Amino acid sequence: MVARRLGSADSYGGYRSDLVDILREKGIRDLAVLRAVSMVPRHLFVPAAVRHRAYEDSALPIAAGQTISQPYVQARSLELLRLTGQEKVLEVGAGSGYQTALLAELAGPIFAVERLAGLAQSAREALEAALVRPVSILVGDGTLGWRAYAPFDAILVAAASPEVPEPLLEQLAPGGRMVIPIGTHAVQELTLVEREGNTYRRTVATDVRFVPLLGEFGFRS
């Protein structure tokens, strides 16, 4: 849908197809996730200086010392959420906006929180350029979630925390799923948290490396 709306102005379709093949070879099986990757123009979400690398399966630098995550890690995170298209989703750490765009292809209303105002504005502009349907982006402390729109059916955290922030647990709907990197600055595990009534089940998916989640319930520095 995104790529179709871009029409003849989009010349990166072949590169996206190659990236989808790479992700499939690495074990991504969710067809909806693969389709989203094939549709969303990642090159619009990276700085011009690294645009030629936009469809590599690697993390890339963006502004303010942050990164756009490796496509495989993003695809694996989305696959773990098992989105059906109707969920209300909270994204913590909008960053470049690319993962926000993938979520917009996969779920219902998307609410994203970004700590850095400059990144939030760049994400809004990139989402508009990519013709992604409107999403809501709040500048603030992502560890606090976005209580005004809670509860959320799914929460995706794109930065590493020493523990799951308590406000995010509280804002996860019963039956909901959260994916979050848990660990130290150096060593982290991508973790699936599933809420069953008032209990939370955790499953470790894979080792990862993310920038730290800064905030009241994350890392302080």
pLDDT for res 9? 54
Q: According to the model, what pLDDT value does residue 8 have? A: 44
Domains in the chain: ranges and CATH: 2-208 (3.40.50.150)
88 CA to centre of own chain: 14
Residue-wise pLDDT for 167-213, tens only, equals: 999 999 999 999 999 999 999 999 999 999 999 999 999 999 999 99
pLDDT at residue 2 in the model: 56
Query: Quick one: how far is CA 175 from the chain centroid?
Result: 20
pTM of the model: 0.94
Report whether the peptide linkage leading into residue 151 is cis, meaning its omega lies within 30 degrees of zero.
yes
pLDDT tens per residue, range 73-125: 999 999 999 999 999 999 999 999 999 999 999 999 999 999 999 999 999 99
Name the residues annotated as catalytic: 69
Q: d(Cα 199, Cα 149) in Å, to the nearest integer?
A: 22
Spatial contact of 134 and 114, defined as CB atoms under 8 Å apart: no
Q: How confident is the model at residue 3 (pLDDT cuts 50, 70, 90)?
A: very low
pLDDT in tens, 13-24: 999 999 999 999
Over residues 119-132, mean pLDDT: 96
Residue type, 37: V
Amino acid, res. 181: P
Nearest 5°: the CA angle 203, 110, 215 is: 65
Q: How many CB atoms lie within 10 A of CB 118?
A: 11
Q: What is the DSSP string of 140-181?
A: S-GGG--GGG--EEEEEE-SBBSS--HHHHHHEEEEEEEEEE
- According to DSSP, residue 49 is labeled G
